[in-house]
Amino acid sequence: MMMELTTRHFRQQSASACRDSNLRAVLDHATRYFMGKRGAALEAFAGRDEHFARARSARLNALSRLPDLLEELERNATAAGVKVHWAADAAEARAIITGIAKAANVRVIVKGKSMVTEEIELNPALEAAGADVWETDLGEFIVQLAGEPPSHIIAPAIHKSRAEVAELFAEKLNLHGQSIPELTLLAREALREKFLCADMGITGANMAVAETGSVILVENEGNIRMSTTCPPVHVALMSLEKVAATMQDAADILRVLPRSATGQKMSSYVSVLTGPRKEGETDGAREMHLVILDNGRSEVLADPVLREALACFRCGACLNSCPVYQTIGGHAYGSVYSGPIGTLLSSLLLPQDLTRDLPFGCTLCGACARTCPLGINHPKLMLALRQRVANGRANPVSSAHSLLARHPLAYRLAVGVARTLDPNLHLLPRLPGMPGLSEFVDSRRPPELKKPFAARRRKTKREQKQ
Amino acid sequence: MHAHLFIPCLVEDCQPEAAEAVVEVLESLGVEARHPAGQTCCGQLAYKTGDAKNARLLALRYLEIFAAPGPVVCPSGSCVKMVRTYPELFAPGTPDHQRAVDLAARTFEFCEFVAGLPGADTLNAQLQVRACYHGSCQMPPGQSGGVDAPRRLLSSVRGLTLLEADRDDRCCGFGGIFSLQFSAVSQALVEDKCREIMVLEPEILVSAEPSCLMNISGHLARLGKGIPALHVAQVLAASLKKETPAWRRK
């Protein structure tokens, strides 16, 4: 299900999300669960730091040679029988994929979970072209039924409790179950029919390997493999930074990705697809397409600091570790990608007038950077984005403060006057130009202005001399 | 040996006792504390609002203020982090960049500095107290992933029960300008933090980050559950003295 971009309302949406105690409880449980699993897996991961470094170097290596690697990928995928398409932006990608669907007279489409198809708002375009589109990842199926966008990169329905899912299945599918195994079985039966009658399968791509032309897909439910093998046509949509130079690089990445994402040594399914079904083979799509999407990424790649965001392989660990995400969930961000990496990607890929507030919705605590197995320094990039948003125009509060701070006599005088008139800072919320201060003071007693350290020190020194 | 005191704005005017304690601890370890004049703000606020121009102007002031050689010691992790960011504000190869690199290399967070001093292991520190330590996310990490300096120092105080809350290193929700622009989220986070602290029933709250102390203790006060909120330096200074500390006499 696609979403209207409401990123410009991030501040208000984050405030409303905080007041939703049900959401807070579900998020608290889920993010702790993920962090726990991940922590245990990493504890048992011999040579962890070295493996992290190899995965990082595989990703950075790919970014540094991206144009060459993409051409190599195109050559090798084409040689394996894949039809490769280039999409400069979301509209082009939608047109390419609906075009493939129309040409093959497609009526029913099954989809594997893919954030990049969310990014280009593919489903409404396919539906408008007359296709029946089914999300087949359990979490994605749940949010599709609910008419909501996913709220987490790897756990789209993380914001829903079991009880909410049971209600949703009863309402939308007239299927009744309570326990998680029951509900899973119901979804499985409903989806099995769709796989068998689907004319086309659409997936994302965790990686594509330049040296072999292979598309690699990582998952736990088997629905992605079925989406690529049951229907006669398979379309993989890949954002262009996901290329890996070699199978060795891909292996280095695969050693880290599932551990960091779900705490698994390896996902239940890893599919390596090199071209469509060949003569004599018994399964696989008869027609395979790879759509390579830019959608603003080439520009990001040109920025020496911010390009690091493109190293991300979407394990989602930074979301689970982020105190802000843990509190407000994914929907409040109002765009497809949420949490720390989502803040970076949305700020880089969407128009700036929509995303001005995003990099400020962060305490810069750095939990994300400490968690990221690829060593992405989210806070540093967040600060670079703040500079970009400010664009040389200082925040009025900071500007006034800086002016005073450059003139120590005026600064001391201002603090001295404040201490004499209002030592307990009761008037603080009335300061002009500082919205949010009254809320701050409502929940925290403001600090007291005391006799400053410098004056105390002078006094002590005088006493010592006497 | 001497060290220059870098006293954050919040400490200078709102928590001067922490700065006094810094001096006491340093002197007890044989380090002469000097306090260069003219200190206001290191530029952290400007930098974090995206205002690199003002951050640079304020950084230039601090490069002057701390131009004299010798270590610079500061009782705030986030202010030290700012000074360590100074080199990014100047073009590589320029004299200002070189001065920034030099200052960044000799600026230390108070605990980090004290824990590295020769006498730190043999401090005769004693204090009977149940202390909840808030490990601020702004603190420098422990060397090669080991226990960080504030925890090592607090553990060396005899009689001190070091309590750490669930998710002890989780952000308290302050984040400077964040606490104003995203006040609801900030409040939710400080509520979580205070709940997790209060179940431990500590007598005092200890941190090495003044802004976290202000945020957490401010909320505890609003809840009517105020407890003394002390900088690690204050706890160490008290543990080196015989008399009852001021915060206990109240």
Extract the tokens encoding B148.
């960080």
Spell out which residues of chain B touch residue A385, defining contact as CB-CB under 8 Å.
50
Is residue A459 located within the same domain as residue A374?
no
Is residue B156 located within the same domain as residue B101?
no
Q: Which amino acid is at B89?
A: L
Spell out which residues of chain A touch residue B40, defining contact as CB-CB under 8 Å.
404-406, 408, 411
State the DSSP H helix or E strand holding residue B206, giving kind and residue range, or none if neither. Answer: strand B204-207
**Containing domain of residue B102, as a range?**
2-114
Dihedral through CA A29, CA A35, CA A38, CA A44, nearest 10?
-110
Is residue B73 located within the same domain as residue B7?
yes
Is residue B29 located within the same domain as residue B80?
yes
In a domain, A170, yes or no: yes
Nearest to B183 among A324, A415, A440 (CB): A440
Is residue A360 located within the same domain as residue A383?
yes
Is residue A94 located within the same domain as residue A162?
yes
Is residue A283 located within the same domain as residue A323?
no
CATH number of the domain bearing residue A86: 3.40.50.10420
For B7-58, what is each residue's pLDDT tens digit? 999 999 999 999 999 999 999 999 999 999 999 999 999 999 999 999 999 9
**Domain final position from A298, A331, A360:** A298
Q: Measure B13 CA to nearest chain A CA, in Å.
A: 5
Number of domains forming the structure of chain A: 3
Nearest to B57 among A367, A402, A460 (CB): A402
pLDDT at position B136: 87
Looking up tokens 């622009």 gives B181
Is residue B95 located within the same domain as residue B138?
no
Nearest to B171 among A323, A445, A451 (CB): A323
Residue A204: is its pLDDT beyond 70? yes
Contacting residues for A248 by C-beta, under 8 A, at least 6 apart: none
| Total beta-carbon pairs less than 8 A apart between chain A and chain B | 198
Q: Measure B215 CA to nearest chain A CA, in Å.
A: 7
Is residue B99 located within the same domain as residue B127?
no
Nearest residue of B to residue A25 by CA position?
B192
Is residue B104 located within the same domain as residue B18?
yes
Is residue A11 located within the same domain as residue A146?
yes
**Containing domain of residue A75, as a range?**
7-298
Spell out which residues of chain A touch residue B20, defining contact as CB-CB under 8 Å.
453, 456-457, 460
Question: What does pTM read for this prediction?
Answer: 0.95
pLDDT at position A3: 55
State the DSSP H helix or E strand holding residue A167, giving kind and residue range, or none if neither. Answer: helix A162-173
Is residue B102 located within the same domain as residue B140?
no
Is residue A218 located within the same domain as residue A338?
no
Spell out which residues of chain B touch residue A456, defining contact as CB-CB under 8 Å.
16, 20
Is residue B78 located within the same domain as residue B160?
no
Residue B146: is its pLDDT beyond 50? yes
**Residue A330 or residue A397, greater confidence:** A330
Residue A387: is its pLDDT beyond 50? yes
Nearest to A360 among B9, B177, B192 (CB): B177
pLDDT at position B248: 80
Spell out which residues of chain B touch residue A406, defining contact as CB-CB under 8 Å.
40, 57-58, 61
Residues forming a β-bridge with A214: A209
pLDDT at position A2: 45
**Domain final position from B114, B133, B165:** B114
**Domain final position from A351, A369, A390:** A390
Tell me the pLDDT of chain A averaged across its residues: 94
In a domain, A306, yes or no: no
pLDDT at position A1: 41
Residues forming a β-bridge with A219: A269
Nearest residue of A to residue B169 by CA position?
A367
Looking up tokens 């350290």 gives A453
Is residue A319 located within the same domain as residue A213?
no
ipTM of the complex: 0.95
CATH number of the domain bearing residue B140: 3.40.50.11810
In a domain, A308, yes or no: no
Spell out which residues of chain B touch residue A450, defining contact as CB-CB under 8 Å.
13-17
Angle CA(A422)–CA(A427)–CA(A430) in degrees, nearest 5?
155
CATH number of the domain bearing residue B64: 3.40.50
Nearest residue of A to residue B210 by CA position?
A447
Q: Measure B48 CA to nearest chain A CA, in Å.
A: 6
Is residue B128 located within the same domain as residue B230?
yes
Residue B244 DSSP code:
P
In a domain, A309, yes or no: no
For A223-272, what is each residue's pLDDT tens digit? 999 999 999 999 999 999 999 999 999 999 999 999 999 999 999 999 99
Is residue A120 located within the same domain as residue A251?
yes
Q: Measure B95 CA to nearest chain A CA, in Å.
A: 21
In a domain, A236, yes or no: yes
Spell out which residues of chain B touch residue A442, defining contact as CB-CB under 8 Å.
222
**Domain final position from A390, A420, A440:** A390
Number of domains forming the structure of chain B: 2
Residue B103: is its pLDDT beyond 60? yes
Is residue B136 located within the same domain as residue B74?
no
Nearest residue of A to residue B229 by CA position?
A447
For A51-71, what is each residue's pLDDT tens digit? 999 999 999 999 999 999 999
Residue B242: is its pLDDT beyond 90? no
Residue B243: pLDDT band (50, 70, 90) is confident
pLDDT at position A318: 98
Spell out which residues of chain A touch residue B222, defining contact as CB-CB under 8 Å.
442-445
C-alpha of A142 from chain center: 19
Is residue A48 located within the same domain as residue A144?
yes
Q: Measure B130 CA to nearest chain A CA, in Å.
A: 24
In a domain, A307, yes or no: no
In a domain, A304, yes or no: no
pLDDT at position B137: 86
Per-residue HEC secondary structure of chain A comes to: CCCCCCHHHHHHHHHHHHCCHHHHHHHHHHHHHHHHHHHHHHHCCCCHHHHHHHHHHHHHHHHHCHHHHHHHHHHHHHHCCCEEEEECCHHHHHHHHHHHHHHCCCCEEEECCCHHHHHCCHHHHHHHCCCEEEECCHHHHHHHHHCCCCCCCCCCCCCCCHHHHHHHHHHHHCCCCCCHHHHHHHHHHHHHHHHHHCCEEEECCCEEECCCCEEEEEECCCHHHHHHHCCCEEEEEEEHHHEECCHHHHHHHHHHHHHHHHCCCCCCEEEEECCCCCCCCCCCCCEEEEEEECCCHHHHHCCCCHHHHHHCCCCCHHHHHCHHHHHHCCHHHCCCCCHHHHHHHHHHHCCHHHHCCHHHCCCCCCHHHHHCCCCCCHHHHHHHHHHHHHCCCCCHHHHHHHHHHCCHHHHHHHHHHHHHHCCCCCCHHHCCCCCCHHHHHHHCCCCCCCCCHHHHHHHHHHHHHC
CATH number of the domain bearing residue A358: 1.10.1060.10
Nearest residue of B to residue A363 by CA position?
B175
**Domain final position from B114, B149, B175:** B114
Chain A interface disruption, residue of B180, B207, B213, most A CBs within 10 A: B180
Is residue A205 located within the same domain as residue A253?
yes
